[in-house]
Amino acid sequence: MSAPSLTMLWESVDPSSALAERFRFESPAAVSSWLGGVLDRHWGLALTSCDRLVLSSTNLMAWITVGERRMIAKWSVNVPAFPRLAAIADLTSWLDQRGIPVSAPRQARDGRLQLELDGFSLALQNVMPGELLDVTDAAQVRAAGEMMATLQLELAAYPHVIPTAEPPRPGTQLVGNDFRSANILWADGRITAVLDLEEAQYKRRVEDLAQATVLLGTRFHNWAPTPPDIRDAFLAAYQAVQPLTSEERDELQSLVAKMIAGWPS
């Protein structure tokens, strides 16, 4: 099995050094070897190949092949976040059961969705089909607005509490908190996945919507506010599913304007 490639998602640091310092692996080949053993012991799966490793802060993601299935293994060394990661795995699985397109974690042999082992918190998911959302495509923007409204409605109904730094404020609900192009996949005329629910928080829905409206087109680099016509189309599609009150519309306009005014020039 050839060694996987190794890159940083957004940081300008040497990935080999980060791999050793943060995750205690001496090489990408060592990651592949360790992961093969984990998959065999805890999922009963045989690793066919490990093609790509991507580091992001305290997270490591591996693009792998198991048989003919493409999967992603993602693990963290941020120990204080382990209970929250387990809760997010449960939430993601629940959303999958409710029909929201997410990359649901695969149960291990013991039934867990998020495993803690060797100082890591680890989950295994399928690779979802599609390309990152293209906000220059009107159909994709419309689908994104509808999807965000639907996602918020489902999150508001989630029967469990996600651990957060502070308890939920009155008037808030669980929201995704990172709805943007980098976390939305599109294929065959539809949104195929909403990714990266690790940022889920309790906010008022208009706060979450304002953030998504401004950041919808952002990916990993060169962040910039979404153009006005795209913001308008996104909001119209959102309100077709979940209308805003006049007070919410006024507050949304104020929040969006404040975010854009504070954007670095």
Count of CB atoms within 10 A of residue 208's CB?
A: 25
Q: What is the distance between the terminal CA atoms of the chain, rounded to a whole angstrom?
A: 48
Total domains in the fold of the chain: 2
Split at pLDDT 50, 70, 90, the class of 1 is low
> Are 136 and 251 within one domain?
yes
Are 83 and 100 found together in one domain? yes
80 pLDDT exceeds 80? Answer: yes
Question: What is the pLDDT, as a whole number, of residue 263?
Answer: 82
Are 87 and 197 members of one domain?
A: no
Same domain, yes or no: 121 and 135: no
Task: Answer yes or no: is 172 within a domain.
Answer: yes
What element of type H or E holds 174?
Answer: strand 173-175
pLDDT for residue 116 is more than 90: yes
Phi and psi torsions of 125, nearest 5°:
-135, 160
Based on the domain organization, do 140 and 114 belong to the same domain? no
Distance of CA 149 to the CA centre of its chain: 17
**H helix or E strand, kind and range, residue 194:** strand 190-194
Do 120 and 138 fall within a single domain? no
pLDDT score of 166 more than 90: no
Range from 71-80, 214-223, 224-233, 247-256 carrying the lowest mean pLDDT: 214-223
Would the pLDDT of 45 be above 70? yes
Q: Look up residue 153 and give its two tokens.
A: 């409605």
Residue 90: per-residue pLDDT: 98
Give tens-digit pLDDT for 25-39: 999 999 999 999 999
Nearest to 171 by CA among 145, 207, 137: 207
Cα dist from 117 to 15, 45, 89, whole Å:
23, 17, 16
Structure token pair of residue 126: 């399928």
How far does Cα 196 stand from its chain's mean position? Answer: 1
CATH number for the domain spanning 90: value is 3.30.200.20
Does residue 70 form part of some domain?
yes
The domain of 184 spans: 131-255
Give the end of a domain, one of 126, 153, 169: 126
Picking from 75, 96, 126, the residue at the C-terminal end of a domain is 126
Q: Decide if 177 contacts 84 (C-beta within 8 A).
A: no
Q: Which amino acid makes up residue 112? A: R
